[in-house]
Amino acid sequence: MKRAATVMLAAIMISGCGGDVDSDADSTPPTATPDADGDEDAGSYTVRVSVSGPDDTIMVVERDGQQSPVSLGGEPFDFEFTEDGTDPAELDIAVFAKTEDPTGGPVRCAISVDSETIVEDSATAADGNGLAEVGCTMPRTT
C-alpha cells in the first residue's frame, strides 16, 4: 500500500512538465546555457520534497492542481526528481502535513532546489483545531 502511494505521488510530482526521476542523487545538475538570443534558459534543477512526522501524520503533495493524500505511518517521505526547462520560480509544487499527536515528534516539510532549501516548516504543538499542521509552497513569481 505504501509503495503504491509513493508511486502515485511520484507520478504527480513528475507529470506535466517532462521531469524525470533522478536515480543518481550524487549527480550535479547541468548549469543553464545561453540560447540563440544569448539569454540563459531554465536548465535542469533537482527538486526534493521531504515530509516527516509522528505515526498519524497525513500529507498531501500538490503539483499543477493534482493532489494525493498519503498516511506516512511514522515513515519519512523523501522524494527527489529532475525538472527540465522550467525555471524554479515557475514550479507549482506544495506539500501539506498534519498530525493530531505532535507529542510523537514534530511534523515537518521542506522543498529544496539543487540542495538549497527554498521553504520549510515545522510544528510541535496543536493549533486551535487540535492539529499540528505545516505547509510548504514554492514561491512563484508569476
Domain of 7? 2-22+43-137
d(CA 55, CA 108): 13
Stronger pLDDT, 84 or 16, i.e. the higher one: 84
**Total domain count, the chain:** 1
Query: How does the average pLDDT of the chain come out, rounded?
Result: 77
Cell 535542469: give the residue: 44
Stronger pLDDT, 15 or 75, i.e. the higher one: 75
User: What confidence tens digit (pLDDT) does each residue in 36-51 have?
Assistant: 444 445 588 899 999 9
**Residue 94 within any structural domain of the chain:** yes
**Mean pLDDT, range 74-81, rounded to an integer:** 94
**Residue 36 within any structural domain of the chain:** no
**Mean pLDDT, range 26-34, rounded to an integer:** 39
Classify 119 in phi/psi space as left (phi over 0), alpha (psi -120 to 50) or beta: beta
d(CA 123, CA 94): 17
**Residue 29 within any structural domain of the chain:** no
